[in-house]
Amino acid sequence: MKSQHTFALSFYLKRENELNGKAPIYAKITVDGKYLRLAVKRSVEPKFWNQRTQRLLGNTPEIISLREKLRQVTNEINGAYDELRYQKKAITAQAIKSKVEGDEEGKTLMYLIKYHYEHQGALLAKGTIKNYYSTERFLKEFLQKKKLKDIQLMALDFRFITEFAVYLRKKEPDRFQRPCTNNTVMKHLERLQKLTGIALKFGWIITDPFLNHKRLMVRKDRECLDMDEISELWSLEIENEQVMLVKEMFLFSCYTGLSYNEISRLTNDYIRREADGSLWIEMIRQKTLNTSELKFHVPLLPESLGFIEKYEHSTASLAQGTIFATPSNQYMNRCLKIIARLAGINKRLTFHIARHTFATTITLENGVSLESVAHMLGHSSTRTTQIYSKVKKKKVASEMNLVKQKLHPVILKIV
């Protein structure tokens, strides 16, 4: 543990919070370049405060009382610093502030999770928050196994992370649950790491428990349909109108890359006509409220435009207020199993496979750049899109045949 620390204490007025001509006084505690503010819970007129000397001016009874309060706070903060040094505890601005405020035990993991929900949860999509709930539930189960209700953030270390990962891998799944695969375990650890990152920024912990931990994701081939399988879907006739709707919504996603969430809220308000007459879908991916980087544009190909024209004026669509009267995602995936069997497709069809098909078969295999595909999918980074960019054997064979055709006349001339 670090034995020498830089420590400083100063006072200032928070003038932006001035009320009735008085501004609140704050103490600024700085340890090793990181600082926290502590409210003195006293206010003063700015004309009685000298910021350069950090002293109160005047000798009125009110000023004398304030001066004594600042002396008392100074002694408490210095005393807290000396006590932490004497006890050989971790010295941080937060630790000093906690001692002064009587919160010596510091923050806990459950407090951190609650803080995350209250202050950052509003910035996350419902699906993302749902994943954090799952991680929280597994953390509580893990703590119960260790006969704990909670744990101090300062106690989080590499061992805790490793044991939590082992617990997830060995955990017997509950009813209707799937076992935790390697990638599922890594996702739970990723969410825990984001939480500890918040604790680091606030000074609630001084070392990163994930410092020596490496998350290893197993890269899997993304299942998608090839053009022959897409053709089978096009030619498949289905009498049940609801199942037919599911099939055509799936095909619409194959030609636009829209997810279930995006198709279910698609209206004509999201369709733009350009100066050249072309139609484009312009939407925002609902991952976070930081929407500036997640707006995407997809040109409507003739295939996808046909589905819009077919369904936008249907009674069910008009009643729902969207282009497609979208059934639940679970119902659609059940229908897709039936559709795959009828079409002779030996793949486990889910609605998300349509998005993979757009990324791979419709775009990347037809020469669309990775950057353009990333934009149409609403990815903020091409690194996310690279999972689709594995070149298929069929595409390699096709391109090498072109090479053969170019080389063959040259070889004949040489011979």
Query: Within 361-392, where are the H helices?
Result: 370-377, 382-385
pLDDT tens-place string over residues 119-154? 888 777 777 888 999 999 999 999 999 888 888 887
Q: What percent of the chain has pLDDT over 90?
A: 45
Average pLDDT of the residues of the chain: 85
- Of the two residues 411 and 196, the one the predictor is more confident about is 196
**CB–CB of 250/233 below 8 Å?**
yes
pLDDT tens-place string over residues 52-101? 999 999 999 999 999 999 999 999 899 888 888 887 777 888 888 888 87
Q: Is 15 helix (H, G, I), strand (E, B) or coil?
A: helix
Fold of 227-397: hpI Integrase; Chain A (1.10.443)
pLDDT tens-place string over residues 17-49? 889 999 999 999 999 888 889 999 899 999 999
State the CB neighbour count (10 A cutoff) for residue 353. Answer: 22
Q: Is 288 helix (H, G, I), strand (E, B) or coil?
A: strand
Query: Is this model's pTM higher than 0.75 or not?
Result: no
Residue where the block lists tokens 């069929």: 394
pLDDT of residue 10 exceeding 90, the answer is yes
Banded pLDDT at 300 (limits 50, 70, 90)? very high
Banded pLDDT at 1 (limits 50, 70, 90)? very low
CA separation (Å) from 356 to 131, 166, 264, 277, 351? 22, 32, 18, 28, 9
**Cα–Cα distance between 97 and 114 in angstroms, integer?**
21
**CB–CB of 304/255 below 8 Å?**
yes
